[in-house]
Structure formats: C-alpha cells, structure tokens
Amino acid sequence: MQSGGGIRSLPPPGRFLVLVQTTIAPTVPAASATGFTSLALHPRLLEAIAAEGYQDPTPIQAKAIPPALEGHDILGIAQTGTGKTAAFALPILHALLARLPADARPQPGRRPSVLVLSPTRELAAQIGQSFATYGRRTPIRGAVIFGGVGQGPQVDAIRRGVDVLVATPGRLIDLMEQRLVDLRGIDQFVLDEADRMLDMGFIEPIRRIVGALPVKRRTMLFSATMPREIERLAEQLLDSPTKVSVAPAATTVERIAQRLIHVQKASKLALLLHLFDVEPIDRALIFTRTKHGADRLAKQLRAASIGSEAIHGNRSQGQRLKALEAFRSGRSPILVATDIAARGLDIDGITHVFNFDLPMEPEAYVHRIGRTARAGASGIAISFCDETERGLLRDIERTIRLEIPRGELPSSLPRPPKPAEPSREERPERSSGRGGGPRGGGRRGGGRPPKNGRPAEAKHDSRPPEHRSTAPSASAAKPANPRGGRRTAWRPFDKSRAMQAR
C-alpha cells in the first residue's frame, strides 16, 4: 500500500521506508511455501506476508480470514498480540484488490472506501503501518488520522485520495464537522478494540460516525472482551456476523516465563541494574505506576549509561512518537512506560517486561506481560513487589490463578521487611475507563462526560500532571555506583535476535 501524507508522518517512518525498499528486490520467497496459501488471498498479499516472515496464520487469522473473504461481517474476540490486525487487514486489502485492474495505478482524489476506527493514536498508527506493510505491493493508498498533532498533513493526505482511512474517533469527528472527510464511499468498516472504545467514553462518537456511513457495508468488530455493552453494540452494527474468538489472555501468559522478586522499595533500581547485568536482554519494557516515576527511572537509567526513554500521558505526541521510534529502532533498548501510554503498543522483539511497580488493576498485569509474547514468541516477565505492594500481588495472583514463581534477591541487597498493607500514597496514572483509583468505582469513561459528547482524543493526555509521589528520591534509590565497571555486560539491541523471536 502506498502511503498518503498521513502515514508518512507516522511512527516509525524507518520501518515503512525499509519495507518499501525491499519491494525492489526480485521475487520474494515462494509465498506458496507458507501456510497462508490455503486462505486464497491475492498473490500480492501472499508475497507481502512471506516477506514479513510469517509462516502460518495465527489462530484468529485462520478463523477470521475465510469468512471475511466471503464478505461476512465478523465479530472477533481477540486481544492485541494475537495477529488480529492482519485478520481484518488482509481480507480488506484482498477485497480492494479484487476490484482493481491488474495494472491499476494510485488514483488521485478518490474518497476512502475503508474506515478503521481505533481508540488510541498509537494503535491507529500501528494499524496504518500494518496496512502499509501488507499492501505495499499494491496501488492501494492509506492515511492515518488522529488528534494531538496538526490536522494539515492529514487533510492533505485525504485530499490527495485514499482508499483506507485509519482514525481515532475524536479527530475523525473534527474533520467530519469541518466537512474535510467524506465517508459516503465506505463499504468496509472495522471497529477495533471495541471494549476500550467504550471504556474511553467513545460510544457516542462511534454512534455519530456509524450514522454517517452507508448502510450497505461490511463491518468487522474486534474486542478483547465481550461485556453486555459490546454484545449490544455488535447486535446494532453487525449483520449476521461470523463469530470468531481466540483463547483469552491466560494462554498468552503461559508462554511467558514469569518471576516475582520481593524487594525493598528503595532497592528496586539496584535490583533492576543487577538484572540488566545477568539477563540476556535485547529490548525491555519497564512499567512504572506513575508518570513521574517513569521519567525518574528513565533518567536514572540514562545516568547509568543505559539508553532509555519514557512514555506517559504528560508527554507530547511528538515526544511519544520520538521515544517509540528510538525504542523500535533499537537506538534506545529500554522503554519506561505507564499502563496507559503502553496501551496497544505493538513492538516486536521485546525480550523482557519488568514490572518496576505492580499495577493497581490486576488485569493490567496480563496486558503488561503480554507485550513480550507477540504472535507466538515467548518472553520473560519479572515483577518487583515491595513492602507496600503485597495486597496488589495477592489480587494479581488471584486473577491469573497462579502463584508467580519467586526469584532470588541478590545477596548484596537488603531483605524486604515484614508484609504491610499497600500504600495508597503514590497515585497511578489513571486509566481513562476504570474511574481511576485502586478499584475504580467511578463512572465508566472516567468522570464527567464531555459537553459535546466527544471525549478529548486519548483522554489520558489531557489529565492533570501527577502532583506528588512518595517514591524514594533519585538519590535514595540510586545505588552508590549503579553500573560500576560492568558496563560492557550490557548487550545493545540485536535486531537479528529480535527478528528470530517473532
């Protein structure tokens, strides 16, 4: 798929450009050698799949692609990481190619016929990238539109003509109100991560957008969970859908080697630096509970000569994209993130996930560690539990119905004190959807509904900064000589290994 200006402005341009260059290469290894051939996809798509190194369809792809190719509506229950993007992108591209003449060239000025709605900017960018990857041997054009950045380049891309529009609801409605986007040609519509959409308060915007779409269309709805509200939404949006689902998070979790280490709060950084020396890390995602904590830890790691970046809701869109690109490219092998900033993150080759702080929501534990087990790869998840987090640990273990195997604290570090109640002092970066606070309790959608029925794009960005944190100061948490003379033990990001891990 050729990109409109919208995609070009997205992260990480590097990957997309590299992939475009590979199209110059002669013939791609026999697509027929892959398990995808039985799916009867267009040969150009099979070539792109083979070039990506995919061997077999993932379970959600094997189940969703055949009925989708027949034009059925799809109700898919699958999480990010299962390969669900290709499960809808491939049949969509196939349908677009089926109506193009073989020698078709990109047609300037045409209006989109495919709309994919995503709850967050990051996920929208990733979906756009997937379309670009799978469609790169085709004249199909796409653009991604989301808030938090100027609308100019996105509008230009739409004006130049696109087939596939990937959008977050807020920006799309903005452009609809300004009559800058015409949805009357949409005949394939995807609502991705529908449960998150609802959690984030996007139900009204979705209804408005759907109201602007032609009635005669094919719709696919994907959701990680299927609460009543989603069932109702699916009944309204889908016409006799084929229902496909893949195993819930628990099976993903089984592929991950999990470990939990009890450690004093003040020794967490020292423990992390110790693990960096002994673990074979290519690329690691580290979760902290607060935005302030994420910034502080990234700074401490950089002070210890470890390339790291932080992403969280207080960072500007540009800063986030830059940090993600540094992480994705391997320039910065460590990404420190809060739960919300990491939503929908899909980065291959993450060998380790560290829970520097345990999450307040037990379900977030599963989402966090799943970042290291993308599409069949396995990974390592190491969680720290300090004296204030034992209640959170109990909740997590109850939720995953598993006692996480305990890891050893190095003898150089002090043992944690006796169990204590979890501290409520350090506030997490709140989930937009769960009402915030340790156990939610607020209204869905997080507080007061917006006046115009349209929540701000990726609401977490607009939330007030963290005001306080009682985590130890940098000087308290920092060991006397964090890396000592062991710096050489750090293995920089190794792309070939990361590719193997896929």
Binding site for ligand AMP (CB under 6 A): 54, 57-58, 61, 80-86, 346, 348, 374-375, 502
CB of 63 to ligand AMP, least distance (A): 12
CB of 371 to ligand AMP, least distance (A): 10
Query: Nearer Cβ to ligand AMP, position 42 or 262?
Result: 42
Query: At residue 80, what is the residue type?
Result: T
Query: Nearer Cβ to ligand AMP, position 402 or 499?
Result: 499
Tell whether omega for the bond before 12 is within 30 degrees of 0, i.e. cis.
yes
Going by the DSSP 8-state scheme, the letter that residue 25 receives in this structure is S
Query: Nearer Cβ to ligand AMP, position 54 or 276?
Result: 54
Query: Nearer Cβ to ligand AMP, position 48 or 260?
Result: 48
CB of 61 to ligand AMP, least distance (A): 6
CB of 377 to ligand AMP, least distance (A): 8
CB of 444 to ligand AMP, least distance (A): 25
Is the separation of the CB atoms in 407 and 260 below 8 Å?
yes
Question: What is d(CA 416, CA 350) in angstroms, rounded to the nearest whole number?
Answer: 29
Question: What is d(CA 341, CA 118) in angstroms, rounded to the nearest whole number?
Answer: 15
Question: What is d(CA 115, CA 190) in angstroms, rounded to the nearest whole number?
Answer: 6
Question: What is d(CA 283, CA 487) in angstroms, rounded to the nearest whole number?
Answer: 16
Query: Nearer Cβ to ligand AMP, position 86 or 172?
Result: 86
CB of 150 to ligand AMP, least distance (A): 27
Angle (CA) 444 358 363, round 5°? 40
Query: Nearer Cβ to ligand AMP, position 85 or 314?
Result: 85
Query: Nearer Cβ to ligand AMP, position 265 or 328?
Result: 328
Question: What is d(CA 403, CA 381) in angstroms, rounded to the nearest whole number?
Answer: 14
Query: At residue 200, what is the residue type?
Result: M
Is the separation of the CB atoms in 80 and 193 below 8 Å?
yes
Query: Nearer Cβ to ligand AMP, position 129 or 290?
Result: 129
Q: What tokens does 149 get?
A: 């950045």
Sheet hosting strand 284-287, strand order edge to edge: 256-262, 379-385, 352-355, 284-287, 334-337, 308-311
CB of 502 to ligand AMP, least distance (A): 6
CB of 374 to ligand AMP, least distance (A): 5
- Cα Rg of the chain, angstroms: 23
CB of 85 to ligand AMP, least distance (A): 3
Question: What is d(CA 92, CA 114) in angstroms, rounded to the nearest whole number?
Answer: 8
CB neighbour list of residue 296: distance below 8 Å, 6 or more residues apart = 471, 474
Sheet hosting strand 114-117, strand order edge to edge: 2-3, 141-145, 164-167, 114-117, 188-191, 218-223, 74-77, 242-245
Going by the DSSP 8-state scheme, the letter that residue 314 receives in this structure is T
Question: What is d(CA 277, CA 345) in angstroms, rounded to the nearest whole number?
Answer: 26
CB of 225 to ligand AMP, least distance (A): 15
Query: Nearer Cβ to ligand AMP, position 320 or 371?
Result: 371
CB of 171 to ligand AMP, least distance (A): 21
Query: Nearer Cβ to ligand AMP, position 376 or 438?
Result: 376
- DSSP letters for 100-163: S-TT--PPTTPPPSEEEE-SSHHHHHHHHHHHHHHTTTSS-EEEEE-SSS-SHHHHHHHHH--S
Is the separation of the CB atoms in 432 and 344 below 8 Å?
no
Query: Nearer Cβ to ligand AMP, position 104 or 250?
Result: 250
CB of 292 to ligand AMP, least distance (A): 29
Query: Nearer Cβ to ligand AMP, position 78 or 471?
Result: 78
CB of 80 to ligand AMP, least distance (A): 5
Is the separation of the CB atoms in 56 and 40 below 8 Å?
no
Q: What tokens does 134 get?
A: 């799978």
- Strand duo 164-167 + 114-117: pairing: parallel
Query: Nearer Cβ to ligand AMP, position 176 or 375?
Result: 375
Is the separation of the CB atoms in 90 and 61 below 8 Å?
yes
Give the torsion through C-alpha atoms of 211, 212, 215, 217, to 10 deg.
Answer: -120
